Amino acid sequence: MSGTTLSLRTAPAGRIDMTGVLPEILAGRTAAEIEKMPLRVDGVPVALGECFAVTAGEGEALTIRPEGARLDGLGRDMRTGMLRVEGAAGHYLAQGMRGGELIVDGDAGDCAANGMRGGCLRIAGNAGDWLAAALIGDRAGMGGGVVAVGGNAGDRLGDRMRRGLVLVRGRAGTACGARMRAGTLVVAGGCGTLAGFGLRRGSLILGQAPEAMPACHGDAGIVTLAWLGLLRRHAEAILPGAMPDTSRMHRYMGDLAFGGKGEILVP
Amino acid sequence: MLRLKNGRLYDPAHGVDGVVRDLYVDRGRLVAEPGPGLPLDGEIDLAGRIVMAGAIDLHTHIGGGKMNIARALLPEDHRRDPVPAADGMHAGCGHAAPSTWTTGYRYAEMGYTACFEPAMLPTNARHTHLEMGDIPMVDKGAYAMLGSDDFFLRLLAAGSDQQLINDYVGWTLHASQAMAIKVVNPGGISAFKFNARGLDLDEPHPYYGITPRKVIQTLSRAVHELGVAHPLHVHASNLGVPGNADTTLATMAAAEGLPIHLTHIQFHSYGTEGERRFSSEAERIADAINRMQNVSADVGQILFGQTVTASGDTMKQYANHRHAHPDKWVVADMECDAGCGVVPFKYKDKNFVNALQWAIGLELFLRVGDPWRIFLTTDHPNGAPFTSYPHLIRLLMDRDFRNSKLDEIHPDAAAHSQLRSLEREYSLYEIAVMTRAAPARSLGLADRGHLGEGAAADIVVYRDEADREAMFARPEYVFKDGELIVRDGRVVNVVNGALHAVKPEYDKGIEQSLRDYFERYMTMSMEHVKVKDDEICACGASTLIPHACGRRA
């Protein structure tokens, strides 16, 4: 039983806003109905059928083939079902996602998983800046669910994050885990400067130590944490190779300017 | 020349109440019937349609620093109302604190052709004009805020001559390109900075020693003597405080017979009766307005839902901050001369206080007999966004609809209010008075708000629908200065409105003491504060319309 498929006809000059094109909404609709759904190309309303060839299927499964086009807002506010993007995703991927599974075979743009509350997002390639951060203007970032990135993540990963788990197999940019309130961030390849800047609570687990630890994080020595083993078992099932294979890590508490209840763990 | 024929006209400025008549528009103006032989460029048959002048909102917060703060504070509100670009219109966002472009489009789409920003701090005037310049479609103007600024309070405390005060007020109107003078919580914004949490009408200011009554007396006299058409625009003391109706009545008396406009009077009509120590004093306030011909008011009706309150009244906004919904707020000082308080707020129909506020506003509308002296506002966005005006008009025009809404609010509030016993229903003529003719007259806009010869061709055509909310939400045609700008409730032609400002005479000698004062105390020099005439179009307005003032002794 295969799901619905949308294949781009020709890439338009502008960006396509895919808000509202979700497995749960497309389920049970015929191809003709789906083709009539409104999309916006650079803010101008366009029928979905003008951009995509539609093959209607059964169940809450949807495959989108972007064919090089820039598709923004994929999986925005998704609640259930399965969405697969066979290629790269644009900006604002999985914003406010609450459930279901979203798989991107290629890279994702900026502001993915902003304000995400639940479900599972997998990005095979690299993610842009502000992954798992707050929706613009909001006070709290990602509030639940799992994000797994096969490649690298950009700057401001997990900014203001509140809950949930982010696994990155590659490297992260600057200000990784900045202003985090809680939650768990695992970056196998380490990160740039300003790691954990303004960190309030939560754990930032780095597979490689940054060049210099931020000044506002106090050295709490080498510790053995049993929960790291449990987390590794959980993480390996989602994204193998993201979580360091040890329960003994060097712990830095911080950010001391913001209460110092967070931690950065490095090998 | 364009002929609009067979429309049913409501033009209270000329006493025209539903008369079928043709209108002729030529080069942006309404003109006399040209007689036979003159070729018409176009003709629209408006049989069965209702024709009024473009509506005028004389109190709506659409520009200035506080609106930018309100916008920055409410991303979640914007997210729910995105406005994509379309048909030559700029993208933006809407609801409680819309973007500048959306503000203009949505006003025009409801048949409004002029809007006045009531709280412009003179030192912030350039920003306000830049922001208003970005609002398309409608004419604009702003009221300069005085009464809590240090220079004025010093003059007052020193017992300065009224003439000197008049010169300062006149200078302020010129420097800030304003249309009128507003006073917000007279002296109270300043007193807040001296740790006062309230300042009653006859209470001396903790530092300057002057009373709010003195501020109102002096400013209303200055505005009157300078010959500014719009009376002193007063946001009275004790906004929102139960029992403030006494202060409001005393404020009316403080004008000592000079014209005075009390704004968002709904927030100033509260008593302290009942178990919850909060009751309606709408009857007493309305009686006073009915009795005192020098008093006019706009209502500041609240309507239920999410909005944001933005006010210069830092003292009262600070007191309200614990009701912020969502829980974030800004209270700031500006140049030590005024304040700015922005508190998001959600009015709930099941909340006793909110429900009674709703009923008090409607009671005021229905109890004030003279629609020439009570104006239709929600104090946008403080009581509700301006987009709820059609709903409000229906509440006033349709008693059954009003009573059905009354059934939905908090039952104790419904029981406390006498709203159900008020049978009055506004007529189309009265709506045309309070939204067109009266604001134009109050502001001294001689060629707006009416359909007489020589008037600017700001014309709105409505379908005569039984559902007045639907009718006023989607006019069939809106013309601005003779150009068709809205068709069936959608903008079809984006135009840029003018800026109205008054130009009273005053003695420029005041600049000497002002220059010294600015050098000594302010972050800007006096020359930089002044917004020059040629800047207005650079700010985005299509043109500056100066209004001369006839000096009064």
- Tens digits of residue pLDDT in B357-385: 999 999 999 999 999 999 999 999 999 99
Tell me how far the alpha carbon of residue A60 is from its chain's centroid.
Answer: 21
CA distance A233 to A247: 12
Report in angstroms the alpha-carbon separations of A155 from A19, A126, B489, B545. 25, 12, 45, 51
Does the predicted interface ipTM exceed a cut of 0.95? Answer: no
Chain A closest-CA separation from residue B335 CA (Å): 27
Mean of the per-residue pLDDT values for chain A?
A: 94
Mean pLDDT over B536-552 rounds to: 89
Contact B91/A43, CB-based, under 8 Å?
A: yes
Mean of the per-residue pLDDT values for chain B?
A: 94
Q: Can you list the positions of beta strands (E) in B384-494?
A: 459-463, 477-480, 483-487, 490-491
User: Phi/psi at B3 (nearest 5 deg)?
Assistant: -110, 130
pLDDT value of position B146 = 95
Q: Does A44 touch chain B (CB under 8 A)?
A: yes
Which contiguous run of DSSP H or E holds residue B12?
none
User: Phi/psi at B251 (nearest 5 deg)?
Assistant: -65, -40
Q: Does A133 touch chain B (CB under 8 A)?
A: no
Mean pLDDT over B457-469 rounds to: 96
pLDDT tens digits along B92-138: 999 999 999 999 999 999 999 999 999 999 999 999 999 999 999 99
Residues B354, B348: contact at Cβ < 8 Å? yes
Chain A residues with CB under 8 Å of B76 CB are 135, 137-138
Q: How many CB pairs under 8 A join A and B?
A: 21
Number of H helices, E strands in chain A: 4, 17
Q: Does A40 touch chain B (CB under 8 A)?
A: yes
CA distance B28 to B479: 9
pLDDT tens digits along B251-290: 999 999 999 999 999 999 999 999 999 999 999 999 999 9
pLDDT value of position B482 = 94
CA atoms within 13 A on the CB side of B56: 28
pLDDT value of position A10 = 85
Q: Which of A27, A114, A96, A40 has the alpha carbon at shortest distance from A71?
A: A40
pLDDT tens digits along B465-506: 999 999 999 999 999 999 999 999 999 999 999 999 999 999
Q: Which of B68, B76, B77 to mutate to probe the A interface, most A CBs <10 Å?
A: B76
- H helices of B140-211, where? 150-157, 162-175, 188-192
Contact B76/A138, CB-based, under 8 Å?
A: yes
Mean pLDDT over A99-114 rounds to: 96
- B37 pLDDT higher than 80: no
What are the DSSP calls for B60-91, one per residue?
Answer: ---SSHHHHHHHHH-HHHHHTSEE--BTTBPP
- B298 pLDDT higher than 90: yes
Contact B328/A40, CB-based, under 8 Å?
A: no
Mean pLDDT over B178-198 rounds to: 94
Which range has the worst mean pLDDT, A26-40, A133-147, B34-48, B232-246? B34-48
pLDDT value of position B245 = 95
Q: Helix or strand or coil: residue B280? A: strand
pLDDT value of position A183 = 95
Chain A closest-CA separation from residue B74 CA (Å): 8
Mean pLDDT over A209-214 rounds to: 87
Contact A45/B72, CB-based, under 8 Å?
A: no
Contact A40/B86, CB-based, under 8 Å?
A: no
What are the structure tokens assigned to B490, written together?
């959608």
**Can you list the domains of chain B with their CATH numbers?**
2-53+448-491 (2.30.40.10), 55-443 (3.20.20.140)
- B26 pLDDT higher than 50: yes
Contact B79/A135, CB-based, under 8 Å?
A: yes
User: Which stretches of chain B sit within 8 Å of chain A by CB?
Assistant: 72, 74-76, 79, 84-86, 91, 328
pLDDT tens digits along A218-256: 999 999 999 999 999 999 999 999 999 999 999 999 899
Q: Can you list the positions of beta strands (E) in B348-458?
A: 374-375
CA distance A193 to A176: 8
Chain B residues with CB under 8 Å of A43 CB are 84-86, 91
Q: Helix or strand or coil: residue B402? A: helix
Cross-strand partners of B346: B306
Contact A43/B79, CB-based, under 8 Å?
A: no
- A1 pLDDT higher than 70: no
